[in-house]
């Protein structure tokens, strides 16, 4: 089973790129982020024509996540529990969708995650609202993952984490110091997430330095390979035991009107 994640940076602007990639890569499940459309604006017809079931948690102009699956959905869950930002106690940013499908060996649970960027950070200890929201969101994700691990099923938390895990995952570690993706507080929250019993697929299957998943549109970042690695697959023990391959489809960044991110794919015996 091939399970992929890709921040597409607008489903409508990149639809041709996305459908071309789906045809060539042929993932069984694709987790998309930053679709930038409400549910009704999602191009269901074009995606379903390729054999996918579609679950969408959209938002107008910003954010938005989706899961495409060749297997029927047994369950779909939208929103990450635990935030109290609004008067009604709800989080109004569409950043999380989770689904369960039935694989050949049993249930498989997958989430599509668009973790907040968090910039500008502001000054310690009075960080900006955006950075505090990022850190709280990471706590909520950890709590959700911790609640799912007792199910002892393959769990793949796939998405744009806006976290650069290590210095080897950025072209210029000094230049990125202070960015919300590379701050010590962010790293601590990411380690806390892993420490509940999750494995990062890239570290298990590859681990080489300078294997990026994002290149900015500005200053010739792509042409000069000035990238960062922020798109990750985090795996429960049951998923980590069954991963057989991992790849970053860098060639997609070289296409016409590309996203600034590229797809990341894990292959599993599920």
- Cα–Cα distance between 79 and 55 in angstroms, integer? 13
- pLDDT confidence bin for 81, thresholds 50/70/90: confident
- Cα–Cα distance between 118 and 131 in angstroms, integer? 4
**3-state DSSP assignment of residue 188:** helix
Summarize pLDDT for 36-74 with one digit per residue, the tens: 999 999 999 999 999 999 999 999 999 999 999 999 999
Summarize pLDDT for 191-200 with one digit per residue, the tens: 999 999 999 9
What domains can you pick out in the chain, each with its CATH number? 2-268 (3.60.10.10)
Whether the CB-CB separation of 6 and 31 falls below 8 Å is answered with: yes
Using CA atoms in the order 261, 263, 264, 266, what is the torsion angle rounded to 10 degrees? 170
Query: pTM for the whole thing?
Result: 0.96
Mean pLDDT of the chain: 96
Which DSSP symbol is given to 73? E
């Amino acid at each position: 089973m091939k399970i992929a994640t890709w921040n597409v940076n607008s489903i409508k602007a990149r639809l041709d790129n996305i459908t071309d990639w789906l045809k060539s890569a042929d993932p069984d499940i694709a987790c998309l982020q930053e679709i930038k459309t409400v549910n009704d604006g999602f191009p269901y017809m074009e995606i379903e024509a390729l054999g996918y079931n579609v679950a969408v948690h959209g938002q107008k102009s910003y954010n938005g996540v989706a899961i495409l699956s060749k297997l029927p959905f047994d369950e779909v869950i939208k929103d990450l529990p635990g935030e109290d930002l609004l008067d009604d106690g709800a989080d109004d940013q569409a950043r999380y969708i989770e689904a369960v499908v039935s694989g050949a060996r049993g249930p498989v649970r997958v989430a599509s995650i668009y973790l907040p960027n968090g910039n500008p950070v502001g000054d310690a200890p009075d960080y900006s609202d955006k950075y505090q929201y990022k850190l709280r969101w990471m706590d909520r994700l950890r709590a959700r993952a911790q609640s799912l691990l007792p199910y002892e099923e393959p769990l793949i938390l796939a998405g744009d984490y806006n976290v650069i895990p290590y210095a080897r995952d950025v072209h210029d570690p000094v230049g990125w110091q202070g960015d919300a993706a590379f701050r010590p507080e962010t790293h601590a929250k990411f380690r806390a997430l892993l420490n509940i019993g999750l494995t990062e697929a890239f570290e298990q299957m590859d681990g080489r330095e300078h294997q990026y998943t994002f290149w900015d549109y500005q200053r010739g970042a792509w042409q000069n390979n000035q990238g960062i690695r922020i798109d990750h697959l985090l795996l429960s023990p049951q998923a980590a035991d069954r991963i057989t391959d991992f790849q970053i489809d860098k060639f997609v960044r070289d296409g016409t009107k590309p996203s600034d991110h590229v797809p990341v794919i894990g292959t599993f015996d599920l």
